[in-house]
Amino acid sequence: MDVETEVTGVVDAPAGTAEIEVRLLPWRPRRRVVDHGIDLASLSSAADDLIGGVVALVVAVLAALLALVVVAGVVVVLLELWIVGAIALLLLVARFAGLLPWAVHTGRGTYERYRWLPNAAARVRELNGTRHARFRWYWA
């Protein structure tokens, strides 16, 4: 034995069999595949090609459906925003044009309706005895 072998305790391996094993984990991972006892080696190459084609078709259909759902979702969100904005604009125009009346709560449990905002504001000022017309916002 030479000096290097005595110091390191490693014997040179024959050519072509030496390797460095680098592991991320300090232990060997266990096999996690469940053996169902089905021998797929008996399948012919035609059946194997058929199964591969079926799997590829299923994956392609699922990918196309996913892309369709994403595109449809984006389109619906964009259309919803435009539709909501258009409805809000139409309601605002209808309110200021006098098609939808302004409701004045008199404070006595009754409501008076005015088609023009300055008339409604004047009535609120008259009822309150102040220069300012108070507004109360409701969603419904």
Q: What is the pLDDT of residues 67-94, one digit of tens each?
A: 999 999 999 998 998 999 999 899 888 8
Nearest to 114 by CA among 94, 98, 133: 98
The pLDDT of residue 72: 96
Q: Which letter does DSSP use for residue 15 in this model?
A: T
Q: Which distant-in-sequence residues (6+ apart) come within 8 Å of 122 by Cβ? A: 133
**Assigned domain for 8 exists:** no
Half-sphere exposure of 51 (CA within 13 A, CB side): 7
User: Are residues 94 and 54 both part of a single domain?
Assistant: yes
User: Are residues 79 and 106 both part of a single domain?
Assistant: no
Q: How many domains does the chain have?
A: 2
Asked whether the predicted pLDDT for residue 34 surpasses 80, the reply is: no
Is pTM beyond 0.85 here? no
**45-49, 82-86, 99-103, 104-108: which has the highest mean pLDDT?**
82-86
Q: Give the residue numbers spanning the domain of 93.
A: 45-99
